[in-house]
Structure 1
Amino acid sequence: MRRFTDDKKQLWVFDKSTGKIFPTTCENIAGENQFYWNEELNEQGHDPLTLEKQFADLEGEAAAITNDWFRQFSRNKKLIIPKINREIMSLYLATQLLRTAEARNRIVEFSKISNPGYDAENDARQLHIALIWDTKLVESMCKRIKSCIWMFGLNETATPFLTSDHPVLIKNFENTQWLSGPVVYEPGMYIVFPLTPQLIMYAKDHKHWKGAKIFKDSITPVTFDQHMVQHENSGQVGMSNRFIFSNENNFDFAKEFLTDNETFKDPKRSRFINKPRGD
């Protein structure tokens, strides 16, 4: 998140549910207090914030790795990524898909659909924690992400990449639809993750994107124009839960997108009906 601050270390926030824009700091965007509080651990006499602390450690490791990437990219356009770093970043991306408020809303809605009459809202936190601590699921997601072709796009336009409260996204092979949920097994899918206002990461299904192998761990030669940047930003605007972040006080594109897609303003919208197109 710090890489999306302006020269004054401010992060600009657009609340798409209210239309309000305001500056803040990364410290104030730490997330909901005790979002990962585990009552079961608390009742057993263990630290109820174990998961939150695990995420903090993982974030620190991921930040160190991406800082190394930026240093490497300052010298050349291809990265050297040690095996352990690829494993850590795969875990980071997998858990980012699972840990957000957007992911929690999705599992609550799915539980309501699967079990009519069940008060999933009341168990939202524990349902979410159980999903995140599903070792088999997380390990499988990590393996899939690690096997992808990792590549990067450089944005040299005046329009920055945006990020959000649900920053790691997935797109379909046809490049026409943002996919809801941690669907890393979708044939041909690819992950889209803005790293800075100027740099974006892709992780593409290696079986369906064989031609992309020549750009593995590299900045692609594709020249981004404003439309291409907005194409990626549409995902952050539409697939986020509520908040969109930028290093600039300019959310004109987000407002325009939401004018045409009003449903995505509502944090309580259905995740199983509405998906923004990748136009």
Structure 2
Amino acid sequence: MNDPKLHHYVPQFHLRRFTDATGRLWVWDRDRDRTFRTSPGRVAAEKQFYRLTQYEAYGHDPMTMEKQLSTLEGEVALITEQWLSWLRMMEPLDKVEISAADRQLVALYIAVQFLRTADTRDTLSAYAAIGDGEELTADEQRRLHTEVMWDEGLTNGLASRFGGACWVFARNETATPFVTSDNPIAFRTADNRRWLKAGILAPGVYIVFPLAPDIILYAYPGDPPFQKLSKFADCLSPVALDNSMVTNENSGQVFMASRFVLSNRSNFDAERAFALSIGTDLYADPVGHGK
């Protein structure tokens, strides 16, 4: 069996949840401001992205990381698919029964998803270039990135923090779907004023992660002001989201994206408008999602 050539840094099972009725994704290329339609297998991926070239010369399987990621994705796909089916039938404040093992796996998946993207590789490479005084080659970037991903202390530390957070789910019944991106784990400050790519472990920063066009997961740390949310842990939020709230959460995907924002519909007008505001104070006091 041939080794896979195209390695996805956002799993295909996640992308498939955001496809239209024909099984295709609508993609907005934020950098070039163009929209196109494609299959989940052809986006958020690069050739040999996780190939372990640093170990290949010693006779080790260079596809080990890609295979490990595939195993984790398969387990999490089954877990979250069950959650989605439950959440679509639940009443507000009903609780999702999450086993300790499932929580640990999904928390690890969230940590790995944050670390595995092209955006993280670019950030690591930029820091390394500052220290070394010159840009890294593509192979050096791959080696640095995969070594960071394989740092068990870092990965397990992030997974422990994310798994120990208060998870709250919200259901979107509006005409505006949640979108996702090629860097889908979004981080927001406690006052809802800013999305973050740095300082994600600062007190009060929480996770916003769209699981599907109609379901989103919030993971709140135990820091103030979120202690009061413990009564909603693992529950479907009682908040009825409106279009402005959904659009506001979608802005996080625009901010976090390396390049591509992905949806089951072709209209990206709201996302385009938000992109123009990045770096300004236009949305300095956004509408919250109603914690």
TM over 0.5: yes
**Could you tell me which residue of structure 1 aligns to residue 63 of structure 2?**
49
Question: Structure 2 residue aligned with 1:224, among 222, 241, 248?
Answer: 241
**Matched residue SS, 1:78:** coil
Judge which range, 117-126 or 23-32, deviates more: 117-126
The answer on whether the counterparts of 1:144 and 1:184 sit within 8 Å (CA) in structure 2 is: no
Alignment partners' CA distance in 2, 1:216 and 1:245: 29
Q: Give 1:52 deviation, angstroms.
A: 1.2
| Correspondence for 1:28 among 17, 42, 57 | 42
Cα shift at 1:277: 6.0
Superposition misfits of 4+ residues, deviation over 6 angstroms: none
TM-score by length of 1: 0.90
Cα offsets for 1:60-116 (capped at 9, x unmatched): 111100011023224433200011000000100000110000111111112223x15
1:249 aligns with 2:263: no
Counterpart-to-counterpart distance in 1, 2:68 and 2:219 = 24
The reply to whether residue 129 of structure 1 matches residue 143 of structure 2 is no
Q: Could you tell me how far 1:227 is from its partner in structure 2?
A: 1.5
Deviations 1:241-262 (A, max 9, x none): 001100001111122122333x
**Deviation (angstroms), 1:120:** 2.8
Q: Separation in 1 of the partners of 2:208 and 2:84?
A: 18
Q: How far apart, CA to CA, are the structure 2 residues paired with 1:30 and 1:229?
A: 23
Q: 1:173 to 1:252 in 2, by over 3 A?
A: same
User: Is 1:195 paired with 2:236?
Assistant: no
Equivalent in the alignment of 2:158: 141
Q: Deviation at 1:118?
A: 3.6
CA distance in 2 between partners of 1:27 and 1:210 (Å) = 40
**In structure 2, what is the equivalent of residue 206 of structure 1?**
222
C-alpha contact 1:152 1:199 (8 A) present in aligned 2 = yes
Alpha-carbon distance in 2 for matches of 1:121, 1:104: 12
In the alignment, structure 2 segments of 5+ residues that lack a partner are 1-14, 287-291
Q: Check conservation: 2:125, 2:141, Cα contact below 8 A.
A: yes
Residue among 84, 97, 118 paired with 1:101:
118
Partner of 2:136: 120
Q: What is the root-mean-square deviation in Å for CA atoms of aligned residues?
A: 1.8
- Following the alignment from structure 2 to structure 1, what is the Cα–Cα distance between the partners of residues 204 and 163? 15
* 1:35-74 superposed matches below 5 A: 35-74=49-88
Would you say the 8 A contact 2:208–2:219 is kept in 1? Answer: yes
Cα distance 1:260–1:30, how it changes in 2: closer, same or farther (>3 A)? Answer: closer
Gaps of at least 5 residues in structure 1 are 265-275
Cα distance per residue 1:100-146 (max 9 Å; x no partner): 00111111112223x15143345211111111011111111111111
Is it true that 1:82 corresponds to 2:99 in the alignment? yes
Q: How many residues align?
A: 265
